[in-house]
Structure 1
Amino acid sequence: MTGYGDLDHLALLDEVAPGWEHGPTAELPDLRAVVQLPTVHPARPGVTTVEELGALGEPVAAGSTGAAPDDLGDILYTSGTTGSPKGVMVTHDAVLRTGYASALTRAFEDGRRILFSLPCYHMFGYVEGLVAAMFVGGAIVPRLAFSAADYFDGIERHRATEILCVPTMTVALLEHPDRAARDLSSVFAVLSGAAPAPVWLWERVRAELGISEITTGYGMTECGGAMTMTLPEDPLERHSATVGRVKRAGVAGLPDHDGDLCHYRTCDPMTGEELPAGTEGELVSSGPTHMLGFWDKPEETAAALRGGRVFSGDLGRVRDDGYLEITGRSKELYKSGGELVMPKEIEELITRHPGVSQAYAVGVADDRWGEVGCLWIVPEPGATVDPDAVLALCREKLARFKVPKHVLVTTAEDLPTTPTGKVQKFRLARRAAEVLG
């Protein structure tokens, strides 16, 4: 793309690597070619356009490329919720198998029309939107950026039947003042990822958006996309308390799978030792869709991929019914006075408080306790949240060492997020440290 928002990509290339349109430069010695998709700018002379690229492939389009299912197919970057994005190497089979499993689990009808603003260079939009729709002759309605008004415009114009969201987007749709005046009659399904949402949110989605099929999921780029999903017919409590069970995808005969897309167990996050079934710990998985490794990062690959299993960094447990519960992120835990604090417990308590739309707990340095909690709060539109009342609730409901020391108020627009809408808590922690001095 020649630009996005206020960014002029061609001007950036001119600044970083002058002469890039003619091939390799001193700054980009490995550059072979640039293909540009004209938007605002006219095509740069000498630079291949998307149409010209398509024409180059026509003579061989009907022939076999010779690629095997387990060959490297994509290098997709992680969303960067806990640090710098890493390039994940996944196979052709991984992407297709995960997309098929998603269409199967979400019970697609022929011609499903999926609207989303999630970028297709991440797994959510790419696999759960684009690839999954192909299995039923469906269509996607991609949007360049998220806004509630634009989602409503897209649903009305293109008669979308499903939307892809993260919880922050869902809240924005419900809170938009023009929602009741829009024709949303075509849409009946939503797939929500990134984080579980409370039951009250799903109740409002059904009552106010007319959604009858709700699906939540959980996965990682390192695993090939979403590995677990709830079923559209599951009760709302299951959509809220869990992220679903492992999707079915026709892999019978593989050890420990019996038709499931992958297999989950938990390990001690400190030692890596496997824990008894049903015990909370770090979620570890194995399966045919899991990554080959991180591109050009052998140390990070060795840390995340051990013994053919992906160590997720997420904390949770596998219930007796096979559904997964996510309880936190190992990299987001902090110690206050030597005691381990799980932010998710605090966040779930505070989001039930009147007037609170979103809450995020992070650890910040403290001379006395080592680390203390700092709670970022996003009020509901028109509401005012009293930090003292929030702290009083924490003192009433939480153990003393879990009670945050600081409460900071922000807006949904000021939350640091990834391109897929996930909140980057490491940046919230950094911002809290700067605000608190």
Structure 2
Amino acid sequence: MKSEDIRAGILASRREITDLLSEMVSIPSPTGKESEMALWLAGWLKSNGFSVESFDLDPERLTKRYPEAFYRYSFPYDNRPNVAGILHGKGNGRSLMLNFHLDVVDVDPSLWTRDPWKATVEGDLLYGRGACDMKGGGASILFAVKSIIESGISLKGDLIVSGVIEEEGPGNGILALQERGIRADACVIPEPTDMKLCTALTGGAYLIVTVRGRGAHSTMMWEGVNALEKAEIVVAGIKKWRDLRRGEMKDPRYAHTPDVSASSPVINLMRADNGNIGRIPGRAQVWTRATVMPGEDPRRIADEMQRVILSVTDTDPWLVKEKPEFTWIILGGRSYPAEIRETDESVTLFRESVQLVTGGDPELTGFVSPADMQQLLNIEPRTPTFMFGPGNIAQAHTEDEFVTVDQVLKTSAILADFILRWCGIEE
């Protein structure tokens, strides 16, 4: 069977790929509860001829190996395994990893108009939690791989399919995969890029600003200094930073989001003492995030943002005396931006696969959300990685999340063609 026959067969398999994705969506796997999805994937890979390894994360090992990148999340790591399957090639070919994350963002079912844990198909749209982010991409991988196996074609290079936990967090699952020594000559992650070829990601430095006031009885506000009101001055400093950053970056890959460099939202504004309604807050916190563009250093951006905020808070006599406390969270993987050269051979060959299936060259884009591509590009052994997948990131984490089945089909056909190009066919 020829590669064009495999592509055509995938594109004609709408019902089969819809059934596969529906099965995946029906397995709830919010972060912290990925075990059932991991078990399902391991079984699927074994039944299709892969050598499979499932393993829980070891926080102590990861802390020792990646002290700046590992950030312990709020869930225990028992019975939440990563899964990696290897389809061994015949030799003399390049290896390829196809990676997707097993976890999805949890839901409040009362906000949905459909059952979030059951796929609902309406025309070309398939609804359900994770349909877009990123079980649609996972289904594209699995159907591409299955189509190649069933064709009888043997690959020269090894093919790795990995499913990792905790992508919807600090990205510790992909770190554990790297620490385990599971790697390839290139990696594709079918995150929801709307079938655009993502060669760059922004980073992010997270900031908690603690403001001290002076607590007092709420009926005698003149006796205290309201920390929440002083925190509003910090918010004004954040807004000044946004204004300075707006339009500063001209990276064409972010033309669709021209103000991404200024994306520093107030994530939380809260009192941080043990007070109640009868007490003026004596301490408050502001949480925010500084976007770090490709080519920028997160520590430099953190320093610049802090100086701008202080330039505003220093206009207030109380905050001159009681300086705000800045706590930065900068992770070795997720805080740093990442990019792959457009001339990298893996990118060039993938573009050819896209052209064969869609008839046009893919648009090159940058991703604004953290993703496992950052760790793979930024942390040794630095695997050449890019993203291309079905669904629009604007649908991720939303109520009534959906993906278009047509994009899942086309992505699968593209992945199948690229696997054959990259790994090589044993004659």
Q: TM-score range by the shorter chain?
A: under 0.3
TM-score relative to the length of structure 1: 0.23
Larger helix fraction of residues: 2
Q: TM-score, normalised by structure 2?
A: 0.23
Question: Which of the pair has the greater relative contact order for Cα pairs under 8 Å at 6+ separation?
Answer: 2
